Structure formats: structure tokens, C-alpha cells
Structure 1
Amino acid sequence: MLCQCTQHDDQKEAERYISESERQWAESVASGDTTVIERILADDFVGVDPKGRQYEKTEMISETRNAPKYFVSNHLNDVKIRFYGDAAIAQGNESWQRHTGERGRFVWTDTWIRRHGRWQIVAAEDLDAPESSR
């Protein structure tokens, strides 16, 4: 029983870490702060942007530094996380606003892997979506 409790506690802690990291990544779009991206994206990370273009960690760091030129805000609305041993799938959405007043949402899926005791994103796919009417 102790083993199951410890495993459950580890998963809850990982869920908190992943959820908080996703929130920080969303907010970095408006702040330009790259520290969260440098921490949570694996060196072998590959993402797919809404136009279908692949990008790597170094590109994401550079784009995040420049993002405040375009974005006033970007906020995490929701994230759901499912665990599969040392892997986790995080799916969520964010609401953003540009300096032009344009608003929208990103819908995404991030694949997290635990390597050497550390959770990092190895893959991401992002989609543009209309702003929610909620």
C-alpha cells in the first residue's frame, strides 16, 4: 500500500509541476521571459506551430524574447494531464490578445517525458482557434 501512496503522491506532484509550468509558459508569451522555456523544453524538443512548421528549442527561446512586441497578454485557460509511466500528455488552451486588439486562442498538446528524475517537454503541437464565447 505504501508503494501505491508514494506513486500517487509523485504523480500529484508531477501534475502540479506540469500545470504550473504550462501556465508560466503561456504567460512568457507576453513577458518575453525565456527562463521557463529553457527549463521545461528538452534539448531535443521539436514542436509544430499552427502553420505546420516544425521548430526547435532554440527557435522557441528566440521567438519568446520577441513575442512581447506582438502580444499584450496570454493566459492559460485550462490544462488536462494524463500520465503513462514516465510520460505525460498535457492538453490545454490559452487566450491571447495582440497589441492590435486582435484576440484568439491557442489549443495545444504537449508531450512530457521524465528523464533522470526531471519532467520536460519533448514534443508540442499548437493550433489557432477562434476566441471562446464564454
Structure 2
Amino acid sequence: MRPFRHFPASSSRIAVALLLFGVLSFAVPREARALPHHETHAVHKEIEALEEQWRQAIIANNVGQMDHLLADDYIGISANGTVETKTEALAQRRAGTARVTQLDIRDMKVRVYGDTAVVTSQAHVEGTNGQSSISGNYRYTRVYNRRLGQWKIISFEASRMHDADARHN
């Protein structure tokens, strides 16, 4: 005897696929399936304020403020490719090896993805690292992550910008 069917075989497969898709859609966390979207104005302003706190801490060489803003698992990559942890970055600042006397930020863009914020910007820097000048124009990316309600810097990478004239010579 043949079982009773309400749908043709192809309709049954479609119904099962839709049901499975619906169940899996709720099983995956919202942040994992969401596309990047614009967060509220307040979150963007909070990240911009943290960028300003970081800028002021760098110029004043305020290691305590830097320590507060950096996550314990922070990794930074300088324009010359040097990788440094939070401990290494703070030690270099305490020793006075790296010194920034001017840091002007422009073209800042903040994108927020749930508990992660990505900042891209241009920076004009005046300063030294040991006996070498680090003055110039840079593009950078800084990544923040919200942990226990606080935003912390988890990653940074800088690239030196070169003059159009210098590229042609």
C-alpha cells in the first residue's frame, strides 16, 4: 500500500529544504549572519572619541591611558612591518624610544559590525623612533572590540604614503 501524500515529491523536497533553512537560520547567531550595517550615531561617536583619546595619549606619551585603551591580546604592525604586542608597545613608550610630537588625523571612517569596530584613516605624523624620523603621511587601520561593555583596541596596522612625485622619480 502506498502512503498518502499531500504534495508531489518535488514539493515535499522543497518544503523540507525550506524548513531546514528556517531552522538553521535561527541556530546561527544574528551577528554571524548579518551583513555589515550602519550602527547608531552614538556608537560611531564613541569610537571617534576613543580615537581622539588614543591620539592625545600618543602625543603626551601617556602610557597609563594607552594601557587602558589596548586589549591584553593587542597586536600592532608598524609601517616597517614590525609586529608588537601590548607589552612591547607599552615598554617602547616607557623607554621613550618612540616619540610622536604631532599626530593629525583626517579622512576617518568608522564601520561597526556588532561588537567590532574598524577605523580607517589618514594620519600626518611628526616624530622619531630611536634616531630615525618617522615623520610623514600614513594610512592606518585600527580595530576595536567591545568586551564586557568596554571598547578595546585589538589590532593596528599602518602603511606609509608616498608622494606622487616620489613615485615618478
Q: TM-score range by the shorter chain?
A: 0.7 to 0.9
Whole-angstrom distance in 2 between the partners of 1:102 and 1:127: 12
- What do you get for the CA RMSD once the two structures are aligned? 2.6
Structure 2 residue 141 is the aligned partner of structure 1 residue 109: yes
Q: What's 2:157 paired with?
A: 125
Q: Are the counterparts in 2 of residues 40 and 120 from structure 1 also a CA contact under 8 Å?
A: yes
**Local SS of the residue matching 1:50:** coil
Q: Displaced runs of 4+ in structure 1, greater than 4 A?
A: 99-102
After superposition, what is the alpha-carbon deviation per residue over 1:92-129, rounded to whole angstroms, capped at 9, x for unaligned? Answer: 12111237987412211111111111111111111122
Between stretches 19-28 and 44-53, larger displacement belongs to 19-28
Structure 2 residue 92 is the aligned partner of structure 1 residue 45: no
Which of residues 101, 116, 120 is equivalent to 1:87?
A: 116
Q: CA deviation at 1:131?
A: 6.8
Whole-angstrom distance in 1 between the partners of 2:93 and 2:40: 29
Between stretches 19-28 and 39-48, larger displacement belongs to 19-28
Assess, with a 3 A threshold, how the Cα gap between structure 1 residues 35 and 20 changes in structure 2: closer, same or farther.
farther
Q: What's 2:65 paired with?
A: 36
Assess, with a 3 A threshold, how the Cα gap between structure 1 residues 105 and 86 changes in structure 2: closer, same or farther.
same
Identity of paired residues, percent?
25
**Local SS of the residue matching 1:58:** helix
After superposition, what is the alpha-carbon deviation per residue over 1:24-67, rounded to whole angstroms, capped at 9, x for unaligned? Answer: 32333332112332122110111111122211111222233423
**Local SS of the residue matching 2:121:** strand
Point out which structure has higher relative CO (alpha carbons under 8 A, 6+ apart). Answer: 1
- TM-score normalised to structure 2 length: 0.61
**Local SS of the residue matching 2:53:** helix
Whole-angstrom distance in 1 between the partners of 2:127 and 2:75: 25
Q: What's 1:6 paired with?
A: none
Whole-angstrom distance in 2 between the partners of 1:46 and 1:130: 25
What runs of 5+ residues in structure 2 fail to find an aligned partner?
1-38, 165-169
- TM-score normalised to structure 1 length: 0.75
